[in-house]
Every structure is written in structure tokens, then in C-alpha cells.
Amino acid sequence: MATLAVAEREKIDFSKMTGAQKSAVFLIAMGEDYASKIFSTMNEAQMSTIAFEMARIDEITPQMLDAVSKDFVVKFEGDLKMLIEGESFLKQIVSKSLPDDRARAILDELAKKRRAKPFIWSKDVNLNILSGSIVGEHPQTIAMILAHMPPEIASAIIMEVPDEKKGDIAIRIAKLGQVSEDIVRDVDEALKRQLSGAVGGGGKVGGLEVLVSIINGVDKATEDIIMSHVEDGDQEMADDIRKRMFVFEDMVSIDDKAMREILKKVEGQQLTYALKTATEEMKNKIFSNLSQRAGDMLKDDLEAMGPVRLAEVEEAQQAIVRAAKELEADGTITLGGKGKDDVLV
């Protein structure tokens, strides 16, 4: 515990601490020598702000330091340089300010967070090589791998799986429960070693949401194969999947504000291709959320467009759906699945 004998001291609610207050807690916990070195790197305004917050602190509780330490870990997770520097900094703070058992718990959490997410490296691998190494595995192994991969990578791979296996693998993904983290990481490391020349720069739970994310990214033919297999084996599951799925034509029911946000992320050619097979209702939805000039240009492009492969149209529509999903993921918009007409933004 650290205290300061100054006027107007007060306890701080650590759940509502500002950045300056968190910095003040760190520096007080580190001691005068370390704080002096840090102050020497600040400008006058920064020094004044943090010094004021330091003067307001009555005491640093273990809970407060724990919260600040965890926030530090979260903010710098993924930035290797900052984590390396931060780890040394954090070790000094924790070791000096907390009992040994609490210090070890926080440092163990830091080490765990530094471990790369399984299969995240798959984004940097040639998809042909990656799928060739996976599709020959046992269906349960394929299901586990795909369930832990980024959805867009899993979608691309399942399209390369032989048609007769697609449905079985989809069912296994939907029914996949908790997988031991050790098993996931063992498979991750084994596959990464196998593809070492192609790689650039508790386990996750499978289930319907994972499967829906994958299906949303595959082509129509693969979707039909998967859904046909699911319907044959479990109609209730198939109905549940369809309720959760979000496809291009579902965008007709989303809020206009959300639609405008989506259109900002869509390339002109993608939109032209996507509307090639769109319903009149969907076209009207798009045109009503474009400026007059942009709408007129799009209409001209549609009239001038010659024959287009169905695969190109589907890819354009999927790209727009992915853009919508990304905006939903970062909280910009909210989407609904099929049958959900009310969407709030």
C-alpha cells in the first residue's frame, strides 16, 4: 500500500479511473526513483496533469493496482514491442506492490495473453496450400480447425472440401463443444510446422454461431450442399441456422442509416455486380441510400454491363455482407438475421 500526506487527498473509484489517474497509480507504486525518470521524459503539461492526480491519491489498494495492471495488459496486447517493455515495467510494479501469490497471478495472466491466438497465422498462408493440408484430415479434425480459424478463412477452406464431406463437417462444427486448449494448440503447432514454408509474417467453443459465420462466407453451391445435409439429419438445426444467417437480400430490411454506412465500404464495381441478380426491392433500397449522382452512375453501369459469371455476382454480394458484418463487429451498426425486421442502429 502506498500513501501520500498531502491536502485534499481522496480515494479514487478504480472502475472509473482516467488515463492520468492510472498513470499516477503506476508511478506511485514504482517509487520515487522510477517516477523521477519517467517525469524527465514528459512535457510540462503532462507532468502537471499526472502530478495533480498523484496528489489526489490517498492510497493504492491491491484491487486498484490489479485493475490498472489488467488494463495495461489489455491495451498493449498484440503490440510485441510494447509488451516486452511493459512486461519488465509491470513485473517491477507488481513485485513491489502486491503479495507474491497475487503478483504471480497477474504475471501469469500477462504471459497467457501474449500467446498468439490459435490459427491466426492462417491469414498469411496461401489458401490453396492451406486447404490442401487440411481437407485430407478426419472430418472431426477439420471441424475443430475450421471452428477456430477466422471465419473468412474457414469459409474458403470448406469450399475446397469434397462435396460429400461438407455436410458432415458442418454438422460437427455445429455440435463441437469445448475443446481442450492444449489439444487446439497442439494441432495449431503441428499444422504450422507442416506449412512453415508457406506462413508469412481454454479452446474456443464451436456451435451454430461458428457454423453460420462460415456458411455466410461460402458460395451458394457450398451453402446448398451443407444445408441439404443438415436438413436431412436435423431439420430443427437447419431452421435454427437459417434464422441466424444473414445474406445479401436480408439487407433490404436494415435501417437506412446502417445501409449508408455499409455503402461507404463498398467498391463501385462490387455494388454493380451485386445488383445484377438483386430483386427490385433490394435495388430500390440501395438507390434510396445513394446520392442522385451516385445512383444515376450505378444505373448507367448496370445498363452497360454485359454477361457476368454467377460466381462473380455471388462474390460481390458476399463482400458486401462481409463489410456489413465488420461494421456490426465494431459496433457501428446492428444487423438482424432472417426474419428479424426490426434493426436498431
The per-residue pLDDT for 74 is 58
pLDDT, mean of residues 137-146: 89
Q: Assess whether 173 and 156 both reside in one domain.
A: yes
Say what the pLDDT of residue 342 is: 36
- Nearest CA-CA partner of 315 in 214, 220, 215: 220
Residues 136 and 237 in one domain: yes
The answer to whether 177 touches 204, Cβ cutoff 8 Å, is: no
Question: How many structural domains compose the chain?
Answer: 3
Range of the domain at 282: 249-329
Q: 167 versus 208: which is more confidently predicted?
A: 167
Boundary-marking domain end, from 68, 91, 114:
114
Q: What is the pLDDT, as a whole number, of residue 287?
A: 92
Dihedral angle over CA of 265, 271, 275, 281, nearest 10: 40
Is residue 216 within 8 Å of 246, Cβ to Cβ?
A: yes
Residue count of the chain: 345
pLDDT of residue 288: 92
The domain boundary, picked from 244, 263, 282, lies at: 244
Predicted local distance difference test score (pLDDT) of residue 4: 34
Mean pLDDT of the region 180-203:
69
Do both 96 and 43 map to the same domain? yes
Question: What pLDDT is stored for residue 88 in this prediction?
Answer: 56
339 φ/ψ angles, rounded to the nearest 5 degrees: 85, -5
Q: Is the pLDDT of residue 160 over 80?
A: yes
User: Does 226 fall in a domain?
Assistant: yes
**271 within a domain of the structure (yes/no):** yes
Q: Is 149 domain-assigned?
A: yes
Q: Does any domain span residue 342?
A: no
Where among 74, 89, 114 does a domain terminate? Answer: 114
Decide if pLDDT at 137 tops 80.
Answer: yes
CATH number (domain holding residue 145): 1.10.220.30
Residue 336 lies in a domain: no
What is d(CA 269, CA 31) in angstroms, rounded to the nearest whole number?
60
7 found inside a domain: no
186 and 212 belong to one structural domain: yes
What mean pLDDT, rounded, does the chain reach?
75
pLDDT at residue 1 in the model: 35
Write the DSSP string, 18-35. Answer: -HHHHHHHHHHHH-HHHH
Whether 136 and 204 map to the same domain: the answer is: yes
109 shares a domain with 86: yes
Cell of 44: 510540462
